[in-house]
Structure 1
Amino acid sequence: MQNQSKAALLVMDVQNGIVNRIGEENIVPFQQAVEAARQNDIPVIYIRLAFREGYPEASPRNKAFSAISTHGSMTASDAAVQIHESVRPLPGEPIVTKLRVSAFTGSDLEVILRSRGIDTLILSGIATSGVVLSTLREAADKDYTITVLSDACLDPDPEVHRVLIEKIFPRQADVLTVSGWKETLA
């Protein structure tokens, strides 16, 4: 059983523009994870990708982010980057804005975790091959204990999701379903 006082649930990239593409019906496991965390006094931290007006963070050498800057979306005030209402943060639950794929890169996530004494991360997010993979790798390098909630991770490619969840992630994290994780909290 995890030391709950030192754990945090990261809800990553569950923002309007992404949820609208994948369908709100797929968000139920995220809602269940948030509810379980709150019931067990585990902090919930929301992560979103957003940029400043003018995209000073988007290098022309970065294939993904330079494309975003040419479309004129994904700025911090844009509706597409706000946390989806289905998992709406409560007052006091931080929303961390990141500038790259990993939740750590260009954000103050590590400062928040360190100030709260958090050493265990419960990961959920969209996409499994994006924010979840990048954050897991960086968190492992930073010596966090990690759990990935397999059904609270989504990817546009089901086979990539399967390979990551079944073969790659178990090398650095415990992989559980939301219901399996909730059982560890009892």
Structure 2
Amino acid sequence: MQRDFCDPLGYMGTRGGDVTATMAIVPRIQQVRDCAAAAGLTIIHTREGHRPDLSDLPENKRLKTARAGAEIGSRGPLGRLLLEPRPGEIVIDKPGTGAFYGTDLHHVLATSGIQNLVLVGVTTGVCVTSTAREASDRGLNVLVISDCCAEPDPLEHEMAIRLLQIEGGYIATIASTVDFVASVNTLAQS
């Protein structure tokens, strides 16, 4: 979770976005993370990031962020992370909206034998759905925990979740934090 998308002083908040919803999911994400860690599941953090020389930054993205007054590569007022990775958790910087483009995520998953992904984070309509689609296209099973994802506009969040459920959940299965924790705990007891 990057502060730029959740903190009133971050990119989203200073552009007029209401970060109430994106900030509200942090405790639930922490609960899911704790549950997954206790069950021994691999935890992977993805975050928007670029090479130091910005050679992986498309020109159109640089121009869009510059027009918004927050050009990528400029020094921001906040620390980057809201939820710090713990020792042993994997961190992948992604130059695009999805977590697969321009990263080694697919390699990490394949070499670890991981076929099932649980997605949480912001923003639902961009990063989460892009990653879900990319994962589905690679033959992975995707679970999106809807109350651990958010958009500044709740209607956009709801629309993004509904699109993931098209054709009977072809792209992703949707669950809540309560459902996920209960399922993991049930599996741990069996």
- Mapped partners of 1:139, 1:153: distance in 2: 17
Call closer, same or farther: CA 1:182–1:155 in 2, change over 3 Å. same
Conservation of the 8 A alpha-carbon contact between 2:129 and 2:164 = no
Q: Structure 1 residue 142 and structure 2 residue 138: aligned? A: yes
After alignment, is 129-138 or 171-180 more displaced? 171-180
What residue number does 1:15 align with? 2
- Mapped partners of 2:74, 2:119: distance in 1: 23
Conservation of the 8 A alpha-carbon contact between 2:28 and 2:148 = yes
Conservation of the 8 A alpha-carbon contact between 1:75 and 1:81 = no
What residue number does 2:64 align with? 67
What residue number does 2:97 align with? 101
One-letter amino acid matched to 1:30: I
Conservation of the 8 A alpha-carbon contact between 1:55 and 1:69 = no
- What is the SS of the residue equivalent to 2:93? strand
Conservation of the 8 A alpha-carbon contact between 2:145 and 2:174 = yes
- What is the SS of the residue equivalent to 1:51? coil
The alpha carbon displacement at 1:66 in A equals: 3.0
| Cα deviation digits, residues 9-59 of structure 1 (max 9, x gap) | xxxxx1122221425443111111101101111111000001234532233
Q: Which runs of 5+ in 1 are unaligned?
A: 1-13
- Mapped partners of 1:72, 1:151: distance in 2: 28
What residue number does 1:83 align with? 81
TM-score, normalised via structure 1 length: 0.80
One-letter amino acid matched to 2:81: I
Higher RCO, 1 vs 2 (CA within 8 Å, ≥6 residues apart): 1
After alignment, is 71-80 or 90-99 more displaced? 71-80
What residue number does 1:7 align with? none
- Mapped partners of 1:129, 1:122: distance in 2: 16
- What is the SS of the residue equivalent to 2:36? helix
Call closer, same or farther: CA 1:43–1:130 in 2, change over 3 Å. same
The alpha carbon displacement at 1:73 in A equals: 4.8
| Cα deviation digits, residues 141-177 of structure 1 (max 9, x gap) | 0000110000000012211211222343333211000
What residue number does 1:162 align with? 158
The alpha carbon displacement at 1:78 in A equals: 6.3
| Higher alpha-carbon Rg | 2
| Cα deviation digits, residues 64-88 of structure 1 (max 9, x gap) | 443235756544996757331xx32
**Root mean square deviation of aligned Cα:** 2.3
What residue number does 1:126 align with? 122
- Mapped partners of 1:72, 1:37: distance in 2: 35
TM-score, normalised via structure 2 length: 0.78
Work out the number of aligned pairs and report it: 169
What residue number does 1:11 align with? none
Call closer, same or farther: CA 1:40–1:29 in 2, change over 3 Å. same
